[in-house]
Structure 1
Amino acid sequence: MKGDYQDLVDELSALLSVPATLENRDFGLIAFGAHDSDDASAMDPVRTRSILTRKSTPAVRAWFEGFGIARATGPVRIPAAPEAGVFRDRICLPVRHRRIVLGYVWLLDAEPGPTQAQLAAAMEVTARIGTLLADEERAGADLSREFRAVLTAERGWQYDMAVAALRSALGADAEGLHTVVCVTPWQQDDAPSARSLPGVAALCTVEWGAGPAAGGAEDRTGATVGPGADDRPGRGSGSGSGTHDRAGATALAGAPAARSARRPEPVGADVPAAPRRDAARGGTALAILVRLRSADAFSPALTAADRLRTSASGEAATAGVAAPRRGLADLNTAWLEATSAARAARAQTRLGPVAQWSDIGPYRMLAALPANPAHDPAVRELLAPSHAELVRTAEVFLDHAGQAGRTAAALGIHRQTLYYRLSRVEQLTGLDLDVGEDRLLLHMALKASRL
């Protein structure tokens, strides 16, 4: 298909004796004619940027669209606008199919310029380009439907049929190397065209029952994993691996014995603000199937994720990228990886705004925990809003492997303040922070609460 576009652009360049450039209606580069002129001005900054970055700047796009090119049915002459970066006059040939604009052919305008007969012949070529773009757009829409069917089908014959349909639509590309990207939250009504994103084979929107921030994805067994699942019982009584007296604090490794006595925190202690946690909400995610040349060349996926993340309407979105896979059989697993990575990027800013599954560490498993870790009896009281500073203290302490000195330094507090807060954590949870399994339970619950 790309070869067909290139042939038609070369035909236009030869017909008009000027290099032509073809862009889709989103100003994404599709093909361009060779430039073999001695006139250096033919490679002005706008054309150069379009070829090198495969897109135009918002200022350039606004200038061109201001001349009504989306409504025009014939050639449109556009004057230069140095303030917008357009240093040469241009002729725009709208590419239409059945009265719908699908793209634009750009020509640099100079005296004497193409004749009316040449422009009429060029418009006939653009009509052939329009037919190709319309066919590709229809195929892309069908592919989006098949891609969505794969991501939403139950494991079993429905899933196998959806994969077979997608494989048939992709043709030879189906057995190549792919990855899946999730952008969340996605609040636009329609997904952009896959043609505007190099390397993207298909994309679609997917509704999340409980929303990206608090909702999970269904696995193909019919169970629900991650937030959005039905509440499930926690760990027994939530009191840790042994008996524990909630009325008193237990000793921590390396802490003075006297610290178990309850006493007020020092006045004026430096108490940093607790991190903000996102509220649960429903929503839609954007799923993207990206072709890769090799397992370690993630540029197409990362570029698509970042472009779409920044174009998502509403609040700032995050994106997750799954591990690469050859073929389509495991797209359901790849989607779960991508959604988990996107949620991890939202939960932990150091991972985002675009996180790869291979880099999210414990969030691989945390994303599959029950819907609301606060329902575990051990942490329910601690995770109340009034204890936000205790939550942060406990999380930093566990992140630093229980080393009091490093924790106090990270929080900017005195060790005695740290010991007091940790004793309060033990009182509220019934957990013994000297016991490895109790530390593990608390650490997992605190990390999962961010999801």
Structure 2
Amino acid sequence: MYERDFQELTDAVSDLLGAPATLEDRDFRLVAFAAQHGDLDPVRLGSILRRGSDARVRAWFESFGIARATVPLRTPADPVAGTKARLCLPARHRGVTYGYLWLLDEGEIGLDDPRLGAAMELAAESGAKLAASPSRALEGLLSAAQEERAAAAAMLAGHPLAGTAYAVLYAPGAQIPAGVLGTGDVLVLRAAEARETAARLGVIAGVSGPRRGFALAREALEEAKFAHRVARTVSGPVAAWADLGPYRMLTALPEPDPAVAPLLDPAHAALRETVETYLDEAGNAQRTAAALTIHRQTLYYRLGRVTALTGLDLDSGADRLLLHTSLKAARLRGAQDR
């Protein structure tokens, strides 16, 4: 019923104005499109095939003020990109733009056309449905405002995931699979299916631990984001919070220990790589030299320089632990900053 309603509204606008119509949400993801009669321009063809538009196309249309518009407006043709002129009907609800109905009319519909009143009513209905859609409710669940999270949880009370264990995936660049609750870079799905789904996305992804109750979705997202940083810097391409082991403790570490800070200078990248590999190999010089493809004497020289630079004793278990955790935390902070 959810998708059919959008399709019916899009068809109704297309029939009313006599032009092909496309409904996209405010992130330019395709929601529905009316039957096409005539030539497709590259932008519309791409939107249909990829279920969305790329960043350059979005920037082009947004430059004409569509996100702030409250009435129909026109975007011109772009001969360079092969984009035809369009009529845009903003799909708004309670003063917020939730999407756009596009008419590929090539300038034939005037902005004073009397049919536009009825068309804008259909656009407003589309906006209301977009505002109430699960993906918009998910955005509310992830909000910093407690009252917004509570309202969103109430909207999703009847969702199939409301009564089962779920996990949150953080996967920038992923295309949200059909039937999966998601918005932007975030997906929410059954905990039992999370890792398998993440592996199929084809991008680096982090998976939270399981949760019950949508009120905990924001907490789960923080786990998923941290797991994503570990996947980027250590494990890749998928990391799950449940498997991070000691990396979980790094979330609570403050800025680098003063003793380790000099080693984090870019000028000492080779020393940092050497000692981190040495610690990863449990202090085994033979394995470390082989992993770095250096002579063992070179290894000992570099380790001596690390000791001189930091004042830490690599024969001390406590100093090793401090250095190892500090280096891993620095890696994760670097991934967060990129």
- Provide the TM-score with structure 1 as the length reference: 0.53
SS in 2 for 1:103: strand
| Deviation of the 1:116 alpha carbon | 8.8
* Contact 1:97/1:127, CA 8 A, preserved across alignment: no
| Counterpart position of 2:198 | 298
Per the alignment, do residues 34 and 176 of structure 1 end up closer, same or farther by CA in structure 2, a change over 3 Å counting? farther
Per the alignment, do residues 133 and 110 of structure 1 end up closer, same or farther by CA in structure 2, a change over 3 Å counting? closer
SS in 2 for 1:82: coil
| Deviation of the 1:297 alpha carbon | 1.5
| Counterpart position of 1:48 | 45
Establish whether residue 169 from structure 1 lines up as the match of residue 155 from structure 2: yes
SS in 1 for 2:156: helix
Q: Which has the higher helix share?
A: 2
Per the alignment, do residues 47 and 351 of structure 1 end up closer, same or farther by CA in structure 2, a change over 3 Å counting? same
d(CA) in 2 for partners of 1:329, 1:302: 29
**1:124-163 alignment to 2 at 5 Å?**
124-134=118-128, 136-137=130-131, 147-148=142-143
| Deviation of the 1:367 alpha carbon | 2.1
Per the alignment, do residues 176 and 90 of structure 1 end up closer, same or farther by CA in structure 2, a change over 3 Å counting? farther
Establish whether residue 334 from structure 1 lines up as the match of residue 220 from structure 2: yes
| Counterpart position of 2:240 | 357
| Deviation of the 1:9 alpha carbon | 0.6
SS in 2 for 1:334: helix
d(CA) in 2 for partners of 1:136, 1:372: 42
Deviations 1:205-262 (A, max 9, x none): xxxxxxxxxxxxxxxxxxxxxxxxxxxxxxxxxxxxxxxxxxxxxxxxxxxxxxxxxx
| Deviation of the 1:22 alpha carbon | 1.2
Equivalent residues, number: 314
| Counterpart position of 1:8 | 9
**1:418-429 alignment to 2 at 5 Å?**
418-422=299-303, 428-429=311-312
| Deviation of the 1:26 alpha carbon | 4.1
Residue identity matched to 1:19: P
d(CA) in 2 for partners of 1:19, 1:299: 37
| Deviation of the 1:424 alpha carbon | 6.1
Deviations 1:295-319 (A, max 9, x none): 321389887xx8xxxxxxxxxxxx8
d(CA) in 2 for partners of 1:166, 1:447: 37
Deviations 1:124-165 (A, max 9, x none): 133233244246538888865554469x8xxxxxxxx99876
| Deviation of the 1:331 alpha carbon | 4.1
SS in 1 for 2:114: helix
d(CA) in 2 for partners of 1:99, 1:365: 42
d(CA) in 2 for partners of 1:334, 1:355: 16
Residue identity matched to 2:158: A
Per the alignment, do residues 444 and 350 of structure 1 end up closer, same or farther by CA in structure 2, a change over 3 Å counting? closer
| Counterpart position of 2:335 | none
| Deviation of the 1:31 alpha carbon | 1.5
d(CA) in 1 for partners of 2:106, 2:303: 76
d(CA) in 1 for partners of 2:57, 2:139: 30
SS in 2 for 1:298: helix
* Contact 2:87/2:104, CA 8 A, preserved across alignment: yes
Per the alignment, do residues 25 and 123 of structure 1 end up closer, same or farther by CA in structure 2, a change over 3 Å counting? farther
**1:408-427 alignment to 2 at 5 Å?**
408=289, 410-411=291-292, 413-422=294-303
d(CA) in 2 for partners of 1:20, 1:142: 26
Establish whether residue 385 from structure 1 lines up as the match of residue 262 from structure 2: yes
Per the alignment, do residues 64 and 94 of structure 1 end up closer, same or farther by CA in structure 2, a change over 3 Å counting? same
d(CA) in 2 for partners of 1:172, 1:83: 47
SS in 2 for 1:367: helix
| Counterpart position of 1:23 | 24
SS in 1 for 2:80: helix
d(CA) in 2 for partners of 1:450, 1:5: 45
SS in 1 for 2:197: coil
**1:431-446 alignment to 2 at 5 Å?**
431-432=314-315, 442-446=323-327
* Contact 2:141/2:150, CA 8 A, preserved across alignment: no
Residue identity matched to 1:338: A
| Deviation of the 1:322 alpha carbon | 1.9
Residue identity matched to 2:262: P
Per the alignment, do residues 325 and 48 of structure 1 end up closer, same or farther by CA in structure 2, a change over 3 Å counting? farther
d(CA) in 1 for partners of 2:152, 2:95: 30
| Deviation of the 1:341 alpha carbon | 1.9
Per the alignment, do residues 129 and 298 of structure 1 end up closer, same or farther by CA in structure 2, a change over 3 Å counting? farther
- The share of aligned pairs that are identical, in percent, is 39
| Deviation of the 1:448 alpha carbon | 3.5
**1:53-68 alignment to 2 at 5 Å?**
53-65=50-62
| Deviation of the 1:442 alpha carbon | 5.0
| Counterpart position of 1:404 | 285
Residue identity matched to 2:131: E
Residue identity matched to 2:22: T
d(CA) in 2 for partners of 1:44, 1:290: 31
Q: Determine which structure has more spread, i.e. the larger CA radius of gyration.
A: 1
d(CA) in 2 for partners of 1:424, 1:326: 51
| Deviation of the 1:92 alpha carbon | 3.2
